[in-house]
Structure 1
Amino acid sequence: MKTNPPTWLVPVVAIFTLQTISAFLSRLIPIVAPAMSDEFGWSGSSIGYLTASNAVGGLAVLVAGSALLRQIGGMRMLQLTLLLGAACVVFFLYPSLVLVLFACFVMGMSNGAANPAGSEVLQKFSPPGKRNLIFSIKQAGVPLGGMVAGLLIPLVIVLAGWRIALFVCALVVLLPTLLTWRLSPALDGTAGKKGRLFAVPTRESLRMLRVPLAALADNPGLLKMSVVGSLFAASQSCWFAFTVIYLVDRLGFSLSLAGAVFAVMQVGGVIGRVALGWLSDQLGSATATLSIAAILSAASTALLGVTSTQWPLWAIVLLAFVAGCSAAGWNGVQIAEVARRSPPRLIAETAAGAGILVSLVNIAAPTAFALFITATGHYDYAFICAGACSLFVLAFLPRERCGAS
């Protein structure tokens, strides 16, 4: 007897695919940047500023994109930002830090669109008993995109140079975006509607700028869970931005080997996000699951700061994997919990509000990290401070009994 696939399968696959290539687009920055910086004579700490600019692009969409998301749909907005980001890789060819910062800003816009779009679509299609798992599968696209970037980009750089690698990356982004293009009207619920991509700002559209953050005040646990995400983001953003340059500059790794370690961290993120989502559904408690992730994130981030050339390769690889499972594995559970606590009519807005807090940290943490390294040269203290932020998660997690989620 033939059975129909579950109704949530197509939405999950589509959002997962776009989430993966959005992450791939952002992760190419810290991987290409060492080779580009060597040729242009930029310092290694400049990667922190490029990563921060990428986060500013995501923040801009989260703050100002609510009206456009309502008008054309979340998936469509995500697809459009991906196309713009792919086009902007051309600016990396010019030895101008201003142009590259602008390109990073535009490439970050898809990150800002990904969570509101994914939350709105998946909350409509996810069965309650599988919500954490489905959201975590979607979020597993982030480290998967990083894993592909960590393996593919260094290989192409070695074989053909970093300029060719940029165009390969643009093609990797374009193809899945175009393949999913026709799905967005059905998943966004905009089929048969005519929407404009651009509209003249009105008093109402300006009022919408404050909606995402205001929406977090709807219930006490919603704001706390959003702060939890921002604290986790401190460690995650520093791992993503500085792992490759740290391994190359301080531990003497080749770019290919550093990229492989980065990819292992992303593998851990894929496994960790799905596993933590499953565990959260089994325990019925997002709080317990995120507590485990916070402790492992703090420990692994602090340990990265004290690694040295005497450490065996397997130990560094294991550390990267554990960090992937924890420092980069929390997102699905946290985002699902924000959606669960949100009023149904404001899911996209609360997802955007929580994302704004995360984006602010994604801007501040790499920038502060880069400034600290420039001033002191101490990666160890910087990573220890980033790890301490994960421990503060334990103070902000809403207290509730198992079965509440």
Structure 2
Amino acid sequence: MKSTAPTWLMPVVAIFALQTASAFLSRLIPIVAPAIAEEFGWNGSSIGYLSASNALGGLVFLVAGSSLLRQIGGTRMLQLLLILGAACMGFFLYPSMGIALAVCCVMGMSNGAANPAGSEVLQRFSPPGMRNLMFSIKQAGVPLGGMMAGLFVPVVIALAGWRFSLFVFAFLVLLPTVLTWKLSAVLDETSKVEKRSGSWMPTMQSLRIFVAPLTSITQDRGLLKMSIVGSLFAVPQSCWFAFTVIYLVDGLGFSLSLAGVVFAVMQLGGVFGRIALGWISDYLRSSTATLSIAALFSAVTTVLLGLTTPEWPLWSIIVLALISGCTTASWNGVHIAEVARRSPPNLIAETSAGAAILVSVVNIVAPTVFAILVATTGRYDIAFLCVGVCALLVLVILPRDRR
């Protein structure tokens, strides 16, 4: 008898590949930016603003694109945004901070589409007993994309220069997009009513599109709390992603290549951490317990990062980055699955987008405030301490369910 693959395998693989490409597109910004800034004469704090602009792009899509995603389909929408982001990388060649900020914003739109698109697909295809694991596997594509950026980007820049490297990076983004292009016809579930009515056009009646995602997460107290928890987790995650490389280079005297390796180790921890936390959550049948553990380790590792000095041995910083990746960068899958579980079945795309909007706002604000703190105090340790406190607040906000 001929064996067949489980029905969830193809959706998970396709969404995982697109999630990885989207993460790579965003994570390469804080790694390639130091080389661009050095040539164009931009200061180090510009990296924080570029990262914030990238998060703004994700927020723009989450606020305005949920209806368009429902009409086109999650997989197809994500593929189109990856193509757009790859095409925009060529504009980095112009020595203009304004153009760079606009480019980062456009590149971030795929990151905004990844969560609601993937959640909508996996919620339909994932077996109930494996849902946390399936969502965590999807989210493991985020640190995998970051790990690829940390290892690959500095090497290509060193060998070919950052200008030619942009075209190599664009190819890497387009490759999984092309390979999964035909699968959207199988995976996507689109709204024919909205297609016929043309509700994507900006009219007064369509104003609800902008508030629907945020309104949807207020319908249940536990859902709202879980959404706020995601925004608190986003504070340390966004600051680790935006400032690890520049902190290691400017604060500890690392080379760009060595800092990229540490960044890649952190992302590697995220790959295993997201899958491990998803498995633990399903095993314990408690997302709250799993997220509490992640919050504690996230706070400790973030504070310790701020206390590092050039005298610390390299292995200790690598271990710190690995542990942080397993926790600070690994909460997403469990959190997204819990948001989807608490959502009404017909509002999963909206509630996922609403929770992701809060995360995206923090991804804009946190790196900006962090950069301002460092610029005004001249100290990274104070900024990292404040970030660690935000992680501890998760323990206060988490909803306490009996089940």
**Into which bin does the TM-score normalised by the smaller protein fall?**
over 0.9
Structure 2 residue 9 is the aligned partner of structure 1 residue 28: no
Partner of 1:237: 238
Structure 2 residue 123 is the aligned partner of structure 1 residue 131: no
Shift of 1:295: 0.1
Instruction: Give me the whole-angstrom Cα distance separating, in 2, the residues matched to 1:185 and 1:145.
Output: 25
Shift of 1:209: 1.1
Structure 2 residue 294 is the aligned partner of structure 1 residue 303: no
Partner of 1:109: 109
Partner of 2:264: 263
Partner of 1:15: 15
Partner of 2:293: 292
Partner of 2:177: 177
- Coordinate RMSD, CA, aligned: 1.5
Kept in 1: contact 2:67–2:200 (CA 8 A):
no
1:338-357 maps to which residues of 2 (within 5 A)?
A: 338-357=339-358
Kept in 2: contact 1:216–1:353 (CA 8 A):
yes
Distance verdict in 2 for CA 1:150–1:198, change over 3 Å: farther
SS in structure 2 at match of 1:135? helix
Instruction: Give me the whole-angstrom Cα distance separating, in 2, the residues matched to 1:368 and 1:192.
Output: 43
What per-residue deviation string (whole Å, max 9, x for no partner) do you get for residues 205-236 of structure 1? 22121100000012111010000000000000
1:5-404 maps to which residues of 2 (within 5 A)?
A: 5-190=5-190, 199-401=200-402, 404=403
What per-residue deviation string (whole Å, max 9, x for no partner) do you get for residues 86-143 of structure 1? 0111111111000000000000000100000000000000111000000000000000
Shift of 1:328: 0.3
Kept in 1: contact 2:269–2:325 (CA 8 A):
yes
Instruction: Give me the whole-angstrom Cα distance separating, in 2, the residues matched to 1:314 and 1:321.
Output: 10
Kept in 2: contact 1:137–1:332 (CA 8 A):
yes
TM-score normalised by structure 1 residue count: 0.97
Q: Which amino acid aligns with 1:352?
A: A
Instruction: Give me the whole-angstrom Cα distance separating, in 1, the residues matched to 2:372 and 2:81.
Output: 30
Shift of 1:74: 1.1
Kept in 2: contact 1:67–1:205 (CA 8 A):
no
Instruction: Give me the whole-angstrom Cα distance separating, in 2, the residues matched to 1:400 and 1:3.
Output: 40
Shift of 1:164: 1.5
SS in structure 1 at match of 2:28? helix
Q: Which amino acid aligns with 1:137?
A: I
Instruction: Give me the whole-angstrom Cα distance separating, in 2, the residues matched to 1:290 and 1:272.
Output: 12
Instruction: Give me the whole-angstrom Cα distance separating, in 1, the residues matched to 2:33 and 2:199.
Output: 33
SS in structure 2 at match of 1:233? helix
Instruction: Give me the whole-angstrom Cα distance separating, in 2, the residues matched to 1:324 and 1:139.
Output: 13
Instruction: Give me the whole-angstrom Cα distance separating, in 2, the residues matched to 1:246 and 1:190.
Output: 44
SS in structure 2 at match of 1:308? coil
Structure 1 residues not aligned, in runs of 5+: none
Q: Which amino acid aligns with 1:21?
A: A
What per-residue deviation string (whole Å, max 9, x for no partner) do you get for residues 321-343 of structure 1? 01101110100000000000000
Shift of 1:76: 1.1
TM-score normalised by structure 2 residue count: 0.97
Shift of 1:19: 0.4
Instruction: Give me the whole-angstrom Cα distance separating, in 2, the residues matched to 1:118 and 1:30.
Output: 25
Shift of 1:165: 1.5
Instruction: Give me the whole-angstrom Cα distance separating, in 1, the residues matched to 2:161 and 2:193.
Output: 45
Distance verdict in 2 for CA 1:308–1:271, change over 3 Å: same
Instruction: Give me the whole-angstrom Cα distance separating, in 2, the residues matched to 1:387 and 1:105.
Output: 27
Shift of 1:380: 0.6
SS in structure 2 at match of 1:218? coil
Instruction: Give me the whole-angstrom Cα distance separating, in 1, the residues matched to 2:191 and 2:177.
Output: 18
More displaced stretch, 184-193 vs 203-212: 184-193
Q: Which amino acid aligns with 2:254?
A: F
SS in structure 1 at match of 2:108? helix
Kept in 2: contact 1:244–1:258 (CA 8 A):
yes
SS in structure 1 at match of 2:7? coil
Q: Which amino acid aligns with 1:51?
A: S
Kept in 2: contact 1:218–1:342 (CA 8 A):
no
Instruction: Give me the whole-angstrom Cα distance separating, in 1, the residues matched to 2:191 and 2:288.
Output: 38
Instruction: Give me the whole-angstrom Cα distance separating, in 2, the residues matched to 1:329 and 1:191.
Output: 32
Distance verdict in 2 for CA 1:201–1:193, change over 3 Å: closer
4+ runs deviating over 3 angstroms: 190-199
More displaced stretch, 317-326 vs 159-168: 159-168
Kept in 1: contact 2:200–2:206 (CA 8 A):
no
Structure 2 residues not aligned, in runs of 5+: none
Instruction: Give me the whole-angstrom Cα distance separating, in 2, the residues matched to 1:370 and 1:88.
Output: 26
Instruction: Give me the whole-angstrom Cα distance separating, in 2, the residues matched to 1:204 and 1:184.
Output: 29
Q: Which amino acid aligns with 1:268?
A: G
Instruction: Give me the whole-angstrom Cα distance separating, in 1, the residues matched to 2:129 and 2:201.
Output: 42
Kept in 1: contact 2:71–2:191 (CA 8 A):
no
Identity %: 70
What per-residue deviation string (whole Å, max 9, x for no partner) do you get for residues 309-358 of structure 1? 01000000000001101110100000000000000000000000000000
